[in-house]
A and B are shown apart, each in its own frame.
Chain A
Amino acid sequence: MSCEQFENLLPLYAEGELDQEERCGVDEHVAWCGACRESLAFYQELETSLASLRDLRPSPARTAALVSERLGLRRRWDLREAFASLPALASAGFIALGIVLYIFRGPVENFFARMGAGASSGYSRVVTDWTQGAVQLSGGGEWVLLSVLSGVFALVMLAGSWMVLRFVKR
């Protein structure tokens, strides 16, 4: 094979696109041919230089963010997702409230008892009835019932949240 024919194989050699037999042929040739050896060094250096071009690429995330901003996508969709997560946030809030009320059930019971004392009619009576109910609940085993109901409520809210999120992502 002539140098001209080998010259044609050298870019493929440098890129690793030759099969074993062709590689051996090139290896043997460049072992004694200085001009082809120099050419091969060029193509190997060229591979490295071309590969360094990828360092010039800007971040895809940056382009995506700029495009989203120019299209006005981010704000609208963030609000939709925030809205969709409201049920989950509400259920988390109820669970947290239940835990706090249970931990501080003594002071809560006293507070509602003081609130309800002396009320006789109208709005005060409603408050009295409600607070007396709260006193009864905070006083004993009804906490178990309250916990179960909170758990069911939280599960329903989470299921609703999941369905809304699925709808939003479509």
Chain B
Amino acid sequence: MEAPDRGESDARLVQEARAGSEKAFRRIVERYHGMAYAVVRGVLRDSSDVEDVMQEVFIKVYGGLGGFRGEAKLSSWIYQIARNEALNRTRKPNFPEAPIDDAVIETPEESRPDAQFGRKIEREYLERCLGELDEDFRVVLELRYMGEMSYAEIGETMGLPIGTVKTYIHRAKIELKRVMGRREFADSYKQRDRS
């Protein structure tokens, strides 16, 4: 699993960004973008608000840099901001109740490239099933696969021991299997194999 680039230390980037370096702030955004996206998406699921909340997260990060004393890790701090921002968005009155569970999955058309379309259905289906997991399981899985973070990085970010992270991921996959249903999944990939 590819780890984020840690060429410059977080402390140095924070110090430079605090002193007004846009370049350093951009490096922070780029370094923690995957993690924040996984968290925001883990909470909001496939809502159209994700991109807007992502911007709000990094605006809050920028605004809070002056008060960030480095007692917590930068990743944990950004994780908390991302999670709070996403949760706040779900509390807004106009936030859709069930953005993805009720989504209609398109039926493949013969004119479409099969492989590419099959992949799209598979991912939409996966996203629907992810939406049925407990939030902790979903966020850990998304940090691992969407954020491309190691177990240790997830543990540091969420403030969990590595063993707990591993257990969450393990249980999340077993839960996903239960949610998907063995027969339905088997049918989907057998059908894809035939095409």
Task: Give the B-binding residues of A (Cβ under 8 A).
Answer: 7-8, 11-12, 17, 38-39, 41-43, 45-46, 49-54, 56-58, 60-61, 63-64, 66-68, 70-71, 73-74, 77, 169-170
Contacts and interface: CB of A to CB of B under 8 A. Distances in A.
Contact of A46 (B55, B144, B173): B173
Given A11-B173, A42-B185, A63 B22 contact: no
Interface stretch (B27-35, B73-81, B102-110): B27-35
B69 interface: no
A57 B189 CA distance: 25
Q: Is the interface of A mostly helix, strand, loop or mixed?
A: helix
Interface residues of B, number: 42
Contact of B37 (A8, A17, A49, A58): A58
Contacts of A170: 16, 19-21
SS class, residues of chain B in contact with chain A? helix
Interface in B137-163: 141-142, 144-146, 148
Nearest to A66: B55
B3 interface: no
B126 interface: yes
B186 interface: yes
A163 to B, nearest CB: 16
Interface in B110-146: 119, 122-123, 126, 141-142, 144-146
Nearest to A170: B19
A100 B184 CA distance: 78
Contact of B29 (A7, A50, A67): A67
B182 A68 contact: no
B146 A68 contact: no
Given A45-B185, A60-B30, A52 B174 contact: no
Of the candidates B22, B59, B189, the one having the most CB atoms from chain A within 10 angstroms of its own CB is B22
B16 A49 contact: no
B123 A53 contact: yes
A74 B58 CA distance: 15
Contact of B55 (A8, A60, A63): A63
A60 B25 contact: no
A51 B146 CA distance: 7
B86 interface: no
B58 A67 contact: yes
B165 interface: no
Contacts of B21: 77, 169-170
